[in-house]
Amino acid sequence: FLVTFSVLIFSTYYLNSELNFNYYYFVLLIFVGSMFSLNFSNSIFTMLLSWDLLGISSFFLVLFYNNWDSCSGAMNTALTNRLGDYFMFVFFGLSVFSGYYFLSFSMFSSYMSLLLLLTAFTKSAQFPFSSWLPKAMSAPTPVSSLVHSSTLVTAGLILLMNFNNLVLQKSFISFVLIIGLFTMFFSSLASLVEEDLKKVVALSTLSQMGFSMVTLGLGLSFISFIHLVSHALFK
């Protein structure tokens, strides 16, 4: 809440002269509201609605300047998020129908866990879905700071924490650990040769998200959450 409030105040000074300022602020409030709703959701419907609104509003925020870079970044962000939405809808669809006829929950549990992991990887920009995060830096600076600190990229990790018992099984915990390690190292190496300062910040965020995924893969959910909070404050 503190980070969001700071960004909202900064936005009024940073983009006050823009013609589409009211449109920007409206979409930003939808984005922030959907993130809060996702964090505190206690039903599947609320979670799906918040998840979808988060992806849609992020597309319009990245598209704000309406130039080539922002269009490319917005499309990349939207397509990756749509892929994650597909995985999530299939996951909940299998959850609903897992008790009917010849279908059993144990039959689908491993596939469902994999779908949930892929959903989280798309939102948290883990390998191989990492390309959208540096490209999303074409958004206005307040949006970039919000996306890269405490909102969009953390949604996948929050999802995994909510479904901790289902996802972090022995068969998948090593997979989460390896993906997190790979994301952390390749983003750190890429930031060494990157010249664009905003993309360096994006790659730094990727590295931090990879570290959070590693701690989650080690079964240290609370440590991962503490790291997310500290990352939101310093980023």
Opening angle at CA 62, ends 58 and 68, nearest 5? 145
Q: Are the C-beta atoms of 162 and 216 separated by less than 8 Å?
A: no
Residue 138 DSSP symbol? G
Both structure tokens of 131: 């390309």
pTM: 0.82
Residue found under tokens 């499309």? 75
Residue 210 DSSP symbol? H
Q: Are the C-beta atoms of 176 and 168 separated by less than 8 Å?
A: yes
Q: Are the C-beta atoms of 147 and 139 separated by less than 8 Å?
A: yes
**Cβ atoms within 10 Å of 214's Cβ, excluding its own:** 22
Query: Residue-wise pLDDT tens for the chain (235 aa)?
Result: 677 788 888 888 887 777 788 888 888 888 888 888 888 877 778 888 888 888 888 888 888 888 888 888 888 888 888 888 888 888 877 777 665 555 555 556 667 778 888 888 888 888 888 888 888 887 788 887 777 777 778 888 888 887 777 666 666 788 888 888 888 888 888 888 888 888 888 888 888 888 888 888 887 888 888 888 888 777 7
CA gap 160, 146 in Å, rounded: 21
Break the chain down into helix, strand, coil percent, rounded to 5: 80, 0, 20
Q: What is the enclosing helix (H) or strand (E) of 89?
A: helix 68-97
Using CA atoms of 70, 73, 79, 85 in order, give the dihedral in degrees to the nearest 10: -90
Nearest of 137, 145, 151, 150 to residue 65 by alpha carbon: 137
CA gap 153, 163 in Å, rounded: 17
Which parts of the chain are beta strand (E)?
Answer: none
